[in-house]
Structure 1
Amino acid sequence: MDIAYYARMMSSFIVVLGVLIFVHELGHFLVAKWMHVTVLRFSLGFGPKLWGFTRGDTEYRISWIPLGGYVKMLGEDSEEDVTPEQMERSFSSQRVGKRMAIVMAGPLSNFVLAIVIFTLLFAFSGIREITTDIASVTQGSPAEKAGLKAGDKVIAIDGKPISTWYELSETVEARGEHPLLIRIQRGTETLDVAITPYMGEKESELKEKIKTPLIGVVASSNYFIKKINPLEAGYYSLLQTWHLTKFSITVVIKLIQRALPFNVLGGPILIAQMAGQQAEKGLLELINFIALISVNLAVLNLLPIPILDGGHIMFFLVEAVLGRPLGVKKIEMAQKVGMLLLLVLMAFVFYNDIMRLLPGQKPQLSP
């Protein structure tokens, strides 16, 4: 790999990370301003200041370490001195609902970013749909016994027109092991065949074996672009964002249950590699990648781990139930535990990333 490749990879990584961090922190910032809370600093990055300026009460800066960002509000630190005149606009003096809204705004902004990107992509570029062309037929399957062949195209099931592979799979799964009348197109010829699905196994998105009705056909790589109007694009963008959210939550649950190995996790190095790969495919692929990572970032930040947004929300919920905030020492202890968990997680993902870079090596961190 040459210098140009690494330069392209790093520039793509900086763009992806910069957009995601900016949108996330902008969510905190705008809601804080809307709630009349004084924002002391809006920073992209951590550590010493690289560049910045001050306008009004707020310092806007870019810092040296580009792996995150933060919005610092007046009174956010329990040890910070706040004068009586400033108290009304301090974070700590706000009602618990307002504080929760400010914290929630960051992850929600990442969800909104994904929805907006998907909507625009779908509206202008359409949706890629896999056709119903059959690439191969499984030996000994009901499809083979019924005479289906590679190259056949499914055009209807039980009289209902079928145009995408998703529709084909959904229809077969919905009917279970009941007989189906499948109409296929073979060249210029149209044929009707009766097929009874069987309960077989297929791989899920998480590479797990799941039981499902099958007829024994494999999709081709052929696809078509389905053009849709802006309203449909908005609907499909919500579906896509919801699907990615559920997938991310499922991965977290499977990791906790030890049903997935930790070597599936990736960190900044993997994201940089993937960003570079998407950039090579084109601008639209890179923008789509930003939306995908934005959903993952939102879900990650909502995990109930102290120091993350989800941890703060958890504290606020406890405060709402108890009618009083938790003690400072309890919160500090929980945040130390949260920081330790994040450091351990970072060690795992960096190890995985480095192992992926070594030729012939795979990370072996399965619990």
Structure 2
Amino acid sequence: MGIIAAVVVFGILVFVHELGHFLFAKYFKVYVEKFSIGFGPSIVSKKYGETEYLISAVPLGGYVKMYGEDPSADIPEEMKKKAFSHKPLYQRSLIVFAGPLFNLILAVFLFAIINMFGMPMLLPVIDKVQEGMPAFEAGIKSGDKIVSIDGIDIKYWDEMSGIIKKNPGKTLEIKILRGSEQLTLHIVPKLSKSKNIFGEEVRVGLIGVTPKDEFVTVRYNLLDAISKGFEKTYEVTKLTIVGIVKIFQKVVPADNIGGPIMIFQMAKETAQIGINSLIAFMAVISINLAILNLLPVPVLDGGHLFFYMVEAVIRRPVSMKVREYANMVGLALLLALMAFAFYNDIVRILHN
């Protein structure tokens, strides 16, 4: 079941990406010759209208082949209006950008689904209190429920934790519910060293408490769920970009880079946890796919967009010779990255 889930996840992500290119190409009246999920020899193919639809043997991506992609090709006069290379610059740019855009839209949609059908949220109820820490000194006990901090209502554990971490050394007025009695306590979070998600050492405030295993399922209506979907997509996109920058800065180890094997393993594991986890995983990978494709590397969507930016400045297409050399370099970089990702995947398997 887990392997099937992994194949479905990968297939959906590729399909949505290529669908973005395809729909925008069709909208701008470009002749689309082929729409393929996968590369290499075709396993299944069917022609509808002017386009051949394929499922190909190598399931590591997909492509949309449009007529006249080579700007130096000799295009018959009657076909120029349907040739990609003869479309206005803004149309070509939108067709290329549509793939990553559709991956981001998919992420919004998936996060919205999670919020509509319910997300388990940890309640701000105390389980254990660490001796010698601020919470213990202030008199907080197991079973206490945090109601508010400095006048801010607290519904979930993450809200409470976020405020405490941001305020080391500051006196906080914390209202708690103990049985039917409401108490007001004053606590100064202790300045402590911790690790953020990138493994960097940061200074945070801690009071020395752990949560009880009490959850509530939170559901949102359609509009609120979509709003939450946009918020989460923005948050994950920002974290992904920061993570890529930190890999180049050598803050995050390069062995964190994973390839298809890691994606299949994680899809299998999240599918076993539950449908919500699988959907969230798919959304995160969809965002990663969008950002990866927008990198200004020739052969990727971002590389094409970079050439179009140059074309907008110099008022003519970049010469085919320059593009060919750039594409060779870009392909070499991409193959090297894939090989490194596969190497990391294999090392992880051997060490587990």
Shorter chain as denominator, the TM-score bin is over 0.9
Deviations 1:166-185, CA, capped at 9 Å, x for gaps: 22134335656431111223
Instruction: Give me the whole-angstrom Cα distance separating, in 2, the residues matched to 1:172 and 1:283.
Output: 32
Instruction: Give me the whole-angstrom Cα distance separating, in 2, the residues matched to 1:221 and 1:18.
Output: 36
Q: Is the 8 A contact 2:198 2:251 kept in 1?
A: no
1:319 alignment partner in structure 2:
311
Deviations 1:250-291, CA, capped at 9 Å, x for gaps: 111011111111111111111111111222233343233222
Q: Is the 8 A contact 1:76 1:92 kept in 2?
A: yes
Q: Is the 8 A contact 1:306 1:338 kept in 2?
A: yes
Instruction: Give me the whole-angstrom Cα distance separating, in 2, the residues matched to 1:220 and 1:333.
Output: 59
Change (3 A) 1:55 1:80: farther
2:253 alignment partner in structure 1:
261
Instruction: Give me the whole-angstrom Cα distance separating, in 2, the residues matched to 1:210 and 1:36.
Output: 53
Instruction: Give me the whole-angstrom Cα distance separating, in 2, the residues matched to 1:135 and 1:267.
Output: 39
Change (3 A) 1:144 1:221: same
1:197 alignment partner in structure 2:
189
Instruction: Give me the whole-angstrom Cα distance separating, in 1, the residues matched to 2:287 and 2:131.
Output: 40
Q: Confirm or deny that 1:347 pairs with 2:334.
A: no
Q: Confirm or deny that 1:16 pairs with 2:9.
A: yes
Q: TM-score, length-normalised on structure 1? A: 0.90
Q: Is the 8 A contact 2:200 2:251 kept in 1?
A: no
Query: Which of 190, 200, 225 is the matching residue for 2:217?
Result: 225
Compute the RMSD of aligned alpha carbons: 1.9
Q: Is the 8 A contact 1:262 1:348 kept in 2?
A: no
1:4 alignment partner in structure 2:
none
Deviations 1:39-83, CA, capped at 9 Å, x for gaps: 111011100111111222211111111110000111113464421
Deviations 1:219-274, CA, capped at 9 Å, x for gaps: 44432112222111111111111111111111110111111111111111111111
Change (3 A) 1:320 1:78: closer
Instruction: Give me the whole-angstrom Cα distance separating, in 2, the residues matched to 1:356 and 1:127.
Output: 31
Unaligned runs of 5+ in 1: 1-7, 363-367
Instruction: Give me the whole-angstrom Cα distance separating, in 2, the residues matched to 1:355 and 1:166.
Output: 35
Deviations 1:180-228, CA, capped at 9 Å, x for gaps: 1112233444332111234322322223221233333334443211222
Instruction: Choose 277-286 or 61-70, whichever is displaced more.
Output: 277-286
Instruction: Give me the whole-angstrom Cα distance separating, in 1, the residues matched to 2:3 and 2:159.
Output: 40
Query: Which of 33, 38, 51 is the matching residue for 2:31?
Result: 38
DSSP-derived class of the 1:307 partner: coil
Runs of at least 4 residues off by over 6 Å: none
Q: Offset at 1:344?
A: 1.3
Amino acid at match of 1:146: A
Q: Confirm or deny that 1:99 pairs with 2:70.
A: no
Instruction: Give me the whole-angstrom Cα distance separating, in 1, the residues matched to 2:124 and 2:295.
Output: 39
How many residues align? The count is: 352
Instruction: Give me the whole-angstrom Cα distance separating, in 2, the residues matched to 1:226 and 1:20.
Output: 27
Change (3 A) 1:205 1:332: same
Change (3 A) 1:96 1:139: farther
Instruction: Choose 10-19 or 76-85, whichever is displaced more.
Output: 76-85
Q: Confirm or deny that 1:50 pairs with 2:43.
A: yes
Q: Offset at 1:157?
A: 1.6
Q: Is the 8 A contact 2:166 2:204 kept in 1?
A: no
Change (3 A) 1:244 1:156: same
Instruction: Give me the whole-angstrom Cα distance separating, in 1, the residues matched to 2:29 and 2:239.
Output: 36
DSSP-derived class of the 1:47 partner: strand
Instruction: Give me the whole-angstrom Cα distance separating, in 2, the residues matched to 1:209 and 1:175.
Output: 17
Instruction: Give me the whole-angstrom Cα distance separating, in 1, the residues matched to 2:102 and 2:335.
Output: 25
Q: Confirm or deny that 1:182 pairs with 2:174.
A: yes
Q: Offset at 1:139?
A: 4.5
Unaligned runs of 5+ in 2: none
DSSP-derived class of the 2:86 partner: coil
Instruction: Give me the whole-angstrom Cα distance separating, in 1, the residues matched to 2:46 and 2:129.
Output: 64
1:93-132 to 2 correspondences below 5 Å: 93-123=86-116, 125-132=117-124
Q: Confirm or deny that 1:250 pairs with 2:242.
A: yes
1:273 alignment partner in structure 2:
265
